[in-house]
A and B are shown apart, each in its own frame.
Chain A
Amino acid sequence: DAGVTQSPTHLIKTRGQQVTLRCSPKSGHDTVSWYQQALGQGPQFIFQYYEEEERQRGNFPDRFSGHQFPNYSSELNVNALLLGDSALYLCASSLEQGRKNIQYFGAGTRLSVL
């Protein structure tokens, strides 16, 4: 049973560029959440997708957007990259039905903005 998979594992971009990160949820999961973890900090919630719609959003600017596909996989897009966007981006999946209340995390994508 595959867990949460994220791609790519590492990425280097320059300021002003755009980036797309991808996430495949754990088998059977239908909800995907994205988090940003800056160096030395705890993860911060970006947004959550369920039924292909953004259900909740944290305190992140509109430069951060996402998408969920019919197969429940998800993308995180960041436009006009800033140096401060350098971080580990974590995807977490969970199952809405039955309120399992457990988010399973992928290994993350480490984004470096130069």
Chain B
Amino acid sequence: AQSVTQLGSHVSVSEGALVLLRCNYSSSVPPYLFWYVQYPNQGLQLLLKYTSAATLVKGINGFEAEFKKSETSFHLTKPSAHMSDAAEYFCAVSLSGGSQGNLIFGKGTKLSVKP
């Protein structure tokens, strides 16, 4: 069975500091992996996705994530945090792709950015 674990329900960084949000997955077959962001009172917006092409995936708003099969990880990073990055971030896995397969989400990590 597939599952996603996000380490740290709450991460706080200073503006301009590195953002690192951790995600580990469990899957018996090569997975499709996603990061979504949710701003207050809004739906989910796709940041980036991994679909077995390049292991380093670049997304929107300066975020990127690296797929590491040996560590079963797909951590999200951004070199320099902005106040506007404050939101909740969800890592998700799908076996057969986002359209045919359902997404299994982690519990989310709330990112706070201090001035």
Contact = CB atoms under 8 A, between A and B. Distances in A.
Nearest to A108: B43
Interface stretch (B62-70, B72-80, B94-102): B94-102
Given A42-B90, A90-B43, A96 B99 contact: yes
B102 A99 contact: no
Say which size band chain A's interface belongs to: 20 to 34
Contacts of A101: 32, 49, 51, 94, 97-99
Interface stretch (A43-51, A61-69, A70-78, A79-87): A43-51
A105 B99 contact: no
A107 interface: yes
Contacts of B42: 107
A24 interface: no
B31 to A, nearest CB: 12
Given A90-B43, A105-B43, A107-B41, A43 B99 contact: no
Contact of A99 (B46, B49, B100, B104): B100
A96 B92 CA distance: 19
Most buried by B among A99, A100, A103, A105: A103
Nearest to B32: A101
Contact of A56 (B45, B92, B101): B101
Contacts of A102: 46, 49, 98-99
The SS class assigned to the A binding surface is loop
Interface string B79-115: 0000000000010101001111111111110000000
A95 B98 CA distance: 10
B44 A100 contact: no
Contacts of A96: 99-100
Interface of A: 4, 31, 33, 35, 40-45, 48, 56, 58, 90, 92, 94-96, 99-108
Interface of B: 4, 32, 36, 41-46, 49, 51, 90, 92, 94, 97-108
